[in-house]
Amino acid sequence: MSNYEILRPNDRPNLGRWVPLSFQHVFAMFGATILVPLLTGLNPETALFTAGTGTLIYILCTGAKVPAFLGSSFAFIPPLIAISAGYGVSAALGGAVAAGIFYCLVALIIRFTGIGWLDKALPPVVIGSVIVVIGLNLAPVAMDMVMNDADGYSLVYLSIAAVTLFVTVIANIFLKGFFNTIPILIGLVTGYLFTLVMGFIFPAYAIINFQIIKDAAWFSFPSFRIPSFHFVPVLTFIIVSLATICEHLGDTLVTSKVVGQDFYKNPGLHRTLTGDGLATAWAALWGGPPNTTYGENIGVMAITRVYSVWVIGGAAVIAVFLSFFNKFSAIIKTIPSPVLGGISMLLFGIIASSGLRTIVDNGVDYKDKRNLTITSVILVIGIGGGRLAFNITRDLHFELAGVAFATVIGIILNLVFPASKKTT
């Protein structure tokens, strides 16, 4: 693809080139988008539907000026799991709707005041540390899928996860061109095939249930869940969204550099953030995971030099189309837990590593005791499961834990501790 001329955001390729270019973006986002609902108990069909329609909403909000694909957000996995366990899936979806609305409120403030206040409340030392916490909080989830079946520790699960992880790492580091953009998909397929071979050679280890595929209809509308709204889940998701808003700022900046246009100014950060927020609220209203702009698809654009919004929109339509194929979704549901675990070992680590990269790229000085203290407290509270809990009234119990609590404490420490001249 790289031998073709550059396609700018408003360029529309001919149909023969348009379709494969759009499918390439679908492949790039596919593994991560379906992995989030599989980990959180949501429906992969719905996730594909809301990713596609959410991307179209984003394109509409940005005036078709920003080539960005939106898919399932990994940053919201911890609150989705925790709130679903404590309050139910509907309450978690309600929190995600509230997070999307909060995005829009922040976008409105940015429209009139700029982003200086956001930089002050959430500097790199806080955001980077919180992103590290998000990734490491998910580590036990990955390891449980890697090492334990229904009866406890499983060497079979461990071997499947190891093969999956190994192939994914090799694809991520050594493959070139288009294949370098889909290491997750390559790892999933390889792990799946390895599991099939294991089951064929050792029938006792056959863990893929094909009955799900046989029982599924060919076509149907994706299944949806109705959100409900409760104080604690809503507040938890809003707090976590402070970190994802900063993730949005970073992705928009990177996209601007790749395309060679300043999207902070045109169409404006307030419009990109509004598009992201509406897409997130829309997804949760239908029962899908919150959306976010995808680095995988930014990578595809950087390699191919195809920045066309028409291509991104085509990928969104394809994702919606795939969501109506039940057989396709049933195949996804047969992906074994250790395969997902092997993929997650890399993905969750990458989330934590991206937090470290945020800290390093912004030159945070840890010789400064202020920065060292803020990061230390955020890490211990976030990873250690620290929580703040009390009764507001006899019937209303308030609790912040993990990522949300660590984010609040980090913001407070940053605002309270006096900043030295060297602090970044």
Does residue 101 register a pLDDT over 90?
yes
Does residue 390 register a pLDDT over 60?
no
- d(CA 35, CA 342) in angstroms, rounded, equals 12
The whole-number pLDDT of residue 424 equals 47
| Least confident stretch, 37-41, 176-180, 277-281 | 176-180
- Which residue reads 């005041």 in tokens? 113
* Residue from 267, 168, 175, 236 nearest 388 by CA: 236
User: What percent of the chain stands above pLDDT 90?
Assistant: 25
Give the DSSP H or E segment for 315: helix 309-322
* Residue from 104, 424, 125 nearest 269 by CA: 104
What pLDDT band is residue 419 in, cutting at 50, 70 and 90? confident
Query: How many CA atoms does the CB half-sphere of 403 hold within 13 Å?
Result: 33
Does residue 5 register a pLDDT over 80?
no
In angstroms, what is the C-alpha Rg of the chain?
Answer: 21
- d(CA 325, CA 94) in angstroms, rounded, equals 27
Average of pLDDT values for 28-36?
77
- d(CA 95, CA 88) in angstroms, rounded, equals 11
Tokens at 346, concatenated: 């890399």
What pLDDT band is residue 2 in, cutting at 50, 70 and 90? very low
The whole-number pLDDT of residue 417 equals 87
The number of angstroms, rounded, from the C-alpha of 184 to the middle of its chain's C-alpha atoms is: 13
422 exposure class (CB count in 10 Å sphere: 0-12, 13-18, 19+): exposed
* Residue from 341, 415, 339, 342 nearest 374 by CA: 415
The whole-number pLDDT of residue 43 equals 85
The whole-number pLDDT of residue 3 equals 44
- d(CA 73, CA 292) in angstroms, rounded, equals 5
pLDDT digits 0-9 by tens, 248-305: 887 787 788 778 888 888 899 999 999 999 999 999 999 999 998 876 677 677 766 7
- d(CA 261, CA 386) in angstroms, rounded, equals 42
Q: Do residues 38 and 335 make contact, with C-beta atoms less than 8 angstroms apart?
A: yes
- d(CA 116, CA 275) in angstroms, rounded, equals 21
What pLDDT band is residue 12 in, cutting at 50, 70 and 90? confident
The whole-number pLDDT of residue 122 equals 79
**Do strands 397-401 and 291-293 pair parallel, antiparallel, or not at all (unpaired)?**
unpaired
- d(CA 226, CA 262) in angstroms, rounded, equals 38
Does residue 1 register a pLDDT over 50?
no
